[in-house]
């Protein structure tokens, strides 16, 4: 059933200069302001919002662009499977890691993927607590993005072990060898942090989906779909008592997820800070990593949101306001990241520590200077264009810059991991590092895995939170259906 | 008149959330207590209006969080001090500052699980079948329809009286719901 828009213009005219910050978190004091038309195009009703989003899932005709996209992603997954199989059969030696650079692309990719996931939780949890209405149309697929990014990230710590099939040894379980994890190590903290993050993201996402899956259950015509969605919906029927508990739980989950997001990337940064190499052993890493994570995560949100709204015709729901707000967050976090780089360099000079200073100057002039300056270009220079409103509202430009930023953030993790290990304290231990084809194949493969998961999500589940969009409709139109 | 054991309640459909809110308020004032409102999205104040102001979910989450916190710390303490002590950088065995990250993560994990599972358990979900799904137009509750149902278990329930009361609230439709 195709979407049927109500063409009659209802609701208030657009608010001049209206924007985020209008009231209406889920629980708590009710709506104290109308919904700006910049966040939801006027003229929508509960029915049109529901039908538009659910029809994407329940259509019998799978769009061609989806099949093409999934096809490419599946090709990359085949690359991933080949790379993993070869790795498990032959060993970590197929990668470029050697002494002294014992951590290579695997850890770079791990940090990159986890960082990307953080934006989804920020949008869902933090923007909910801050009562930002513009989170509503983007939070569902951003949470899905987080979930799949964490899944991709989690592969790397397992694969980079010499014997990944023994990965369960990281967990505290009673065993016949009578050994247990060593809890003063950030690598063990990482196990708990990333596992918790994956679990809580899954819980948050699924709880948010339940009422919308109930919508699909009630609208589906295909018997199998009806049964599957019915099982997934747990019998949701929209009872006011249930909604009350639901909203309370959701708000509490948001409150829990917020410190979790900050703590997870902080613990990831501790993987480096607890080590001694110059360029690693610095207290600026926790906030710098978290800001960098949000930076790359929002870039990925834009990379996903822009094609989604174009291919699925969702410009009414994901408006220019959403894209512009994401661009503003990119600018803000980009500036924090820039500050991080500047402070690192300044402290290296100001401290008088010859190892720190050598590391800083070698990064800019040595064997990895290409990666270093590319990183500065992508992360620091390119984001300055977002000071200009015309460019923040230019959709193709935002799409391009989202790729540039993600590339830059990957470069940043590469520079951090590789340069500090390649030349640390004793010159006789200096060796260069270069990644092999298998390193890159695994990375590209995880990109494919991410997109396979994401495309399946787009086809099988509502990509926008339907019931939250209904709340926006209710606030916009004063309760008319 | 004897109560029909096969009747779950009487269901009234309303136009929008304001009408439903008003109907719930009047039903509560009229003395009905065993009732519920159904809507496609949460309506602020609805549950309070029909007599359900407080939920125990926050308490469940707190208990879950505390269990995770103490459990996580005690696990690390037992492993690091009693069961498998190691000298790591000369730190004391009970190196509690180093135990904080894992304790924190366990707190969040257990609190989040408690929030989700507690909410589901208190709501009585999963419950795939419910008498209301028998009502013909109820499927619209997940799209754009609003309902108020006064249940037969209410002490003041009497089918014709309830029907007349609901009709007086100007609903779109009033139907009986079979068990």
Asked whether the CA dihedral B16, B130, B125, A120 is positive or negative, the reply is negative
Tell me which chain B residues have a C-beta less than 8 angstroms from the C-beta of A27.
Answer: 44
pLDDT of residue B3: 59
Tell me which chain A residues have a C-beta less than 8 angstroms from the C-beta of B108.
Answer: 196, 200, 256-257, 259-260, 263
Asked whether the CA dihedral A55, A61, A65, A69 is positive or negative, the reply is positive
For residue A477, name the pLDDT band (cuts at 50, 70, 90).
low
Three-state DSSP class for residue B36: strand
State whether A45 and B122 contact (CB < 8 Å). Answer: no
Q: Is pLDDT above 50 for A5?
A: no
The tens digit of pLDDT for each residue in A47-97 reads: 999 999 999 999 989 999 999 999 999 999 999 999 999 999 999 999 999
Q: How far is B158 from chain A (nearest CA, A)?
A: 22
The bridge status of strand B35-38 relative to strand B146-151 is antiparallel
CA nearest B50: which of B128, B149, B178? B149
Gap between the Cα atoms of A332 and A318, Å rounded? 21
Angle at B157 between CA B153 and CA B162, to 5 degrees: 130
Tell me the count of A-B CB pairs closer than 8 A. Answer: 214
CA nearest B23: which of B32, A47, B7? B32
Tell me which H or E stretch contains B38: strand B35-38
pLDDT of residue B129: 86
DSSP letter string over B103-167?
Answer: HHHHHHHHHHHHHHHHHHHHHT------GGGGSTTGGGGGTT-EEEEEETTSTT--HHHHHHHHH
How many contiguous H segments (helices) and E segments (strands) does chain A have? 17, 0
This prediction has a pTM of 0.91
CA nearest B37: which of B55, B24, B19, B51? B24
Q: In Å, how far from its chain's centre is CA B173?
A: 26
* Partner residue facing A183 (CB), from B40, B50, B76: B76
CB A114 within 8 A of CB A269: no
Gap between the Cα atoms of B11 and A238, Å rounded? 14
Domain range A46-477, CATH architecture? Up-down Bundle (1.20)
ipTM score here? 0.94
Q: Is pLDDT above 80 for A451?
A: yes
Tell me which H or E stretch contains B35: strand B35-38
Using CA coordinates, name the residue in chain A closest to B132.
Answer: A237
pLDDT of residue B52: 87
- Dig out the tokens for A163 from the structure: 């014997």
CA nearest A256: which of B111, B102, B119, B60? B111
Q: Which residues of B33-70 are buried (b: 16+ CB within 10 A; e: fewer)?
A: bbbbbbbbbbbbbbbebbebeebebeebbeebbebbbe
State whether B15 and A211 contact (CB < 8 Å). Answer: no
Q: Is B58 in the A-facing interface, judged by CB distances under 8 Å?
A: yes
Q: Please count the CA atoms within 13 angstroms of the CA of A177 that sit on its side-chain side.
A: 6
CB A471 within 8 A of CB A24: yes
CB A429 within 8 A of CB A386: no
Phi then psi dihedrals of residue A79, to 5 deg: -60, -45
- Dig out the tokens for A43 from the structure: 């003229």
Gap between the Cα atoms of B179 and B165, Å rounded? 21
CB A73 within 8 A of CB A80: no
For residue B2, name the pLDDT band (cuts at 50, 70, 90).
low
Place of tokens 């100007």: B170
Which percentage of chain B shows pLDDT scores above 70? Answer: 98
DSSP letter string over A28-88?
Answer: SS---SPPPTTTS-TT--HHHHHHHHHHHHH-SS--HHHHHHHHHHHHHHHHHHHHHHHHH
Gap between the Cα atoms of A339 and A333, Å rounded? 10
Q: How far is A270 from chain B (nearest CA, A)?
A: 10
- Which H, E and C letters describe A268-293, residue by residue? HHHHHHCCCCCCCCCCCHHHHHHHHH
Tell me which chain B residues have a C-beta less than 8 angstroms from the C-beta of A184.
Answer: 80, 88-89, 91, 95, 98-99
Domain boundaries, chain B: 7-54+130-178, 57-123
Phi then psi dihedrals of residue A31, to 5 deg: -35, 115
Tell me which chain B residues have a C-beta less than 8 angstroms from the C-beta of A206.
Answer: 116
Average of per-residue pLDDT across A355-379: 95
Q: Is pLDDT above 70 for A11?
A: no
State whether B112 and A200 contact (CB < 8 Å). Answer: yes
Tell me which chain A residues have a C-beta less than 8 angstroms from the C-beta of B115.
Answer: 203, 249, 252-253, 256
CA nearest A354: which of A425, A419, A284, A282? A425
Residues 6+ apart with CB under 8 A from B168: none
Q: What letter would DSSP give residue A379?
A: I
Q: How far is A14 from chain B (nearest CA, A)?
A: 23
Gap between the Cα atoms of A318 and A333, Å rounded? 22
pLDDT of residue A478: 58
pLDDT of residue A476: 82
Gap between the Cα atoms of A326 and A170, Å rounded? 37
Q: Is B39 in the A-facing interface, judged by CB distances under 8 Å?
A: yes
Gap between the Cα atoms of A42 and A477, Å rounded? 9
Q: Is B95 in the A-facing interface, judged by CB distances under 8 Å?
A: yes
Q: Is pLDDT above 90 for B159?
A: no
Q: How far is B161 from chain A (nearest CA, A)?
A: 23
Q: How far is CA A430 from CA A104, A107, A292, A348, A433, in A?
A: 15, 20, 28, 20, 10
Gap between the Cα atoms of A90 and A109, Å rounded? 21
Place of tokens 């990307």: A116
The tens digit of pLDDT for each residue in B115-145 reads: 999 999 999 999 878 999 988 889 899 999 9
Q: In Å, how far from its chain's centre is CA A98?
A: 31
The tens digit of pLDDT for each residue in B31-55 reads: 999 999 999 999 999 989 988 878 9
Phi then psi dihedrals of residue A303, to 5 deg: -55, -35
Tell me which chain B residues have a C-beta less than 8 angstroms from the C-beta of A238.
Answer: 38-40, 141-142
Q: Is pLDDT above 50 for A109?
A: yes
Q: Is pLDDT above 60 for A13?
A: no
Gap between the Cα atoms of B65 and A307, Å rounded? 40
For residue B94, name the pLDDT band (cuts at 50, 70, 90).
very high
Domain boundaries, chain A: 46-477
CA nearest A35: which of A16, A15, A55, A50? A15
Average of per-residue pLDDT across A167-190: 94
Please state, rounded to an integer, the average pLDDT across all residues of chain A: 90
Q: How far is B2 from chain A (nearest CA, A)?
A: 28
Q: How far is A363 from chain B (nearest CA, A)?
A: 31
Burial class (CB in 10 A: 0-12, 13-18, 19+), A346: exposed
DSSP letter string over A205-218?
Answer: HHHHHHHHHHHHHH
Q: Is B97 in the A-facing interface, judged by CB distances under 8 Å?
A: no
Tell me which chain A residues have a C-beta less than 8 angstroms from the C-beta of B83.
Answer: 180
CB A136 within 8 A of CB A322: no
DSSP letter string over A292-317?
Answer: HHHHHHHHHHHHHHHHHHHHTT-TTT
């Amino acid at each position: 059933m195709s979407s049927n828009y109500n063409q009659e213009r209802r609701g208030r005219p657009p608010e001049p200069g209206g924007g985020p910050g209008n009231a209406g978190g889920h629980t708590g004091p009710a709506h104290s302001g109308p919904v700006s038309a910049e966040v939801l195009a006027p003229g929508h009703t509960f029915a049109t919002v529901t039908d538009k989003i659910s029809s994407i899932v329940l259509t019998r005709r799978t769009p061609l662009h989806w099949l093409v996209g999934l096809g490419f992603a599946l090709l990359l997954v085949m690359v991933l499977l080949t790379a993993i199989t070869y790795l498990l059969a032959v060993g970590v030696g197929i990668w470029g890691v050697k002494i002294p650079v014992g951590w290579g692309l695997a850890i770079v990719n791990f940090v990159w993927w986890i960082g990307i996931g953080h934006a989804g939780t920020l949008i869902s949890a933090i923007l909910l607590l801050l009562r930002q209405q513009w989170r509503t149309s983007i939070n569902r697929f951003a949470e899905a993005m987080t979930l799949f990014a964490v899944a991709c990230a989690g592969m790397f710590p397992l694969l980079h072990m010499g014997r990944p099939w023994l990965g369960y040894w990281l967990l505290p379980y009673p065993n016949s060898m009578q050994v247990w994890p060593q809890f003063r190590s950030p690598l063990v903290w990482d196990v708990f942090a990333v596992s918790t993050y994956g679990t809580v993201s899954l819980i948050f996402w699924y709880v948010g989906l339940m009422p919308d899956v109930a919508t699909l259950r009630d609208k589906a015509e295909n018997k199998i779909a009806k049964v599957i969605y019915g099982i997934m919906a747990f019998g949701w029927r929209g009872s006011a008592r249930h909604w009350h508990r639901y909203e309370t739980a959701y708000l509490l989950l948001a409150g829990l997820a917020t410190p979790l997001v900050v703590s997870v990337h902080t613990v990831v940064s501790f993987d480096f800070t607890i080590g001694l190499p110059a360029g690693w052993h610095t207290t600026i890493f926790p906030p710098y990593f978290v800001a960098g994570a949000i930076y790359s995560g929002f870039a990925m949100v834009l990379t996903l949101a822009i094609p989604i709204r174009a291919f699925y015709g969702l410009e009414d729901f994901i408006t220019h306001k959403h894209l512009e707000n994401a661009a503003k967050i990119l600018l803000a976090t980009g500036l924090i990241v820039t500050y991080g780089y500047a402070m690192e360099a300044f402290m290296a000079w100001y401290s008088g520590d010859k190892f720190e200073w050598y590391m800083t100057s070698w990064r800019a002039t040595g064997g990895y200077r290409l990666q270093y300056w590319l990183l500065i270009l992508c992360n620091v220079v390119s984001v300055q264009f977002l000071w200009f409103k015309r460019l923040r509202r230019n959709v193709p430009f935002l799409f391009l810059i989202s790729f540039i930023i993600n590339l830059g953030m990957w470069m940043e993790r590469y520079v951090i991991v590789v340069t500090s290990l390649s030349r640390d304290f004793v010159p006789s231990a200096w060796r260069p590092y270069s990644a092999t084809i298998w390193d890159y194949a695994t990375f590209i493969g995880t990109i494919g895995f991410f997109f396979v998961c994401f495309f399946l999500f787009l086809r099988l589940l509502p990509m926008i939170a339907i019931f939250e969009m209904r709340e926006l409709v209710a606030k916009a139109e004063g309760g008319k259906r | 008149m004897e109560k029909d054991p096969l009747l779950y309640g009487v269901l009234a459909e309303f136009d929008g959330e304001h009408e439903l809110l008003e109907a719930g308020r009047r039903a509560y004032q009229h003395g009905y207590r065993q009732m519920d409102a159904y809507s496609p999205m949460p309506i602020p104040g609805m549950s309070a209006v029909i007599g359900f102001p407080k939920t125990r979910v926050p308490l469940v989450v707190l208990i879950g969080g505390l269990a995770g916190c103490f459990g996580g710390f005690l696990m690390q303490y037992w492993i690091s001090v009693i069961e498998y002590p190691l000298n790591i950088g000369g730190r004391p065995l009970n190196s509690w500052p180093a135990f904080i990250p894992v304790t924190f993560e366990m707190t969040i994990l257990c609190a989040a699980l408690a929030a989700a599972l507690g909410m589901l358990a208190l709501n009585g979900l999963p419950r795939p079948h419910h008498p209301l799904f028998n009502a013909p137009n109820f499927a619209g509750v997940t799209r754009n329809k609003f309902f108020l149902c006064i249940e037969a278990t209410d002490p003041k329930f009497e089918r014709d009286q309830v029907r007349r009361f609901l009709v007086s609230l100007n609903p779109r439709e009033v139907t009986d719901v079979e068990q």
